[in-house]
C-alpha cells in the first residue's frame, strides 16, 4: 500500500499535522492539530506525448534529476487549471520546443507505488524545428532501431514506446492501460 506520509505542517495555519482517520472516513489523513484541516492526498497526474515525424519518434535527454542524462518522452506534472491534453502540449513545448498536433490518447499507466498516473498522447510533429528548454540537454529524433532502450529514464516511457512500435507494425493504434508495479 502507498503511504507517503509527506505532509508535516498544515497548509492553512502552519501547525503540525498528525495522521489519523477522520470520522466517517476509512483511511488516515494528515489532520491539523490546531485548526482541524484535513489534508487529502491523491495520485499525481503525469502527462506527455509520443511526438512522431515520419518513421521517427522524438526523445529528450533529461537535464534534471531524477535520471539526469537519460532519455524520455516529453512529459511532466499536470498543472491546476489545464486539461490533460493542454498539459501534454505544454510539456512538449517546454521540454522540446516541438510543434505538434495531438492525436489520440495512447497509454494510461498506473504507477501505484509512486502515487502517480501517467497519460501519454500520440502526436504528429508539424515540422522538425526543436528548441529544448532548460530541463532538456538535447532533443533528438530516433528510428525504432536507434532507440537507446538501455538509457530510457522511466518504465512508463519504455512501455509506451514498445506499445507504439508494436501498434505501428500492426497498422492500428489502440489505447493501452496497465498497472506498473
Q: Quick check: 38 binds Zn ion (CB under 5 A)?
A: no
Q: Which stretch binds Zn ion (CB under 5 A): 8-16, 57-65, 96-104, 135-143?
A: 8-16
User: Is 10 near Zn ion (CB under 5 A)?
Assistant: yes
The span from the CA of 73 to the CA of 142, in Å, is: 11
Q: Is 35 in the site for Zn ion (CB under 5 A)?
A: yes
Give the list of residues 6+ apart from residue 123 with CB closer than 8 angstroms, or none: 49, 50, 51, 52, 88, 92, 100, 101, 102, 103
d(CA 31, CA 19): 6
Cell matching residue 11: 497548509
Could you tell me where the beta strands, DSSP code E, fall in the chain? Answer: 17-20, 29-32, 38-39, 44-53, 56-62, 71-72, 75-77, 100-111, 116-125, 136-142, 176-179
- Backbone φ and ψ for 8, nearest 5 degrees, come out as -115, -30
Q: Smallest distance from the beta carbon of 11 to Zn ion, in angstroms?
A: 8
Residue 40 or 149 with smaller CB distance to Zn ion: 40
- Cell 508494436 belongs to 166
37 lies in the site for Zn ion, by CB under 5 A: yes
Which listed residue (2, 3, 9, 12) binds Zn ion by CB under 5 A? 12
> Taking the complex as a whole, how short is the minimal distance between the CB of residue 21 and Zn ion, in angstroms?
18
Which residue stretch of 2-10, 69-77, 118-126, 147-155 sits at the interface with Zn ion (rule: CB under 5 A)? 2-10
Q: Cβ of residue 58: shortest distance to Zn ion, in angstroms? A: 45
What's the min distance (Å) between Cβ of 155 and Zn ion? 37
Nearer to Zn ion, 37 or 93 (CB): 37
Q: Interface residues with Zn ion (CB under 5 A)?
A: 10, 12-13, 15, 32, 34-35, 37
Amino acid at each position: 500500500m502507498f503511504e507517503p506520509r509527506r505532509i508535516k505542517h498544515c497548509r492553512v495555519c502552519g501547525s503540525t499535522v498528525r495522521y489519523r482517520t477522520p470520522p466517517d472516513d476509512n483511511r488516515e489523513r494528515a489532520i491539523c492539530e490546531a485548526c482541524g484541516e484535513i489534508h487529502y492526498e491523491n495520485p499525481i497526474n503525469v502527462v506527455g506525448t509520443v511526438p512522431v515525424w515520419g518513421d521517427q519518434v522524438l526523445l529528450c535527454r533529461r537535464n534534471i534529476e531524477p535520471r539526469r542524462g537519460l532519455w524520455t518522452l516529453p512529459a511532466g506534472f499536470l498543472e491546476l487549471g489545464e486539461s490533460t491534453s493542454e498539459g501534454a502540449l505544454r510539456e512538449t513545448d517546454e521540454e522540446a520546443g516541438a510543434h505538434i498536433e495531438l492525436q489520440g490518447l495512447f497509454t494510461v499507466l498506473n504507477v501505484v507505488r509512486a502515487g502517480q498516473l501517467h497519460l501519454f498522447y500520440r502526436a504528429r510533429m508539424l515540422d522538425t524545428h526543436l528548441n529544448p528548454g532548460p530541463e532538456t540537454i538535447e532533443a533528438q529524433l530516433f528510428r525504432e532501431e536507434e532507440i537507446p532502450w538501455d538509457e530510457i529514464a522511466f518504465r512508463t516511457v519504455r512501455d509506451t514506446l514498445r506499445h507504439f512500435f508494436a501498434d505501428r507494425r500492426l497498422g492500428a493504434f489502440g489505447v493501452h492501460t496497465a498497472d506498473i508495479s
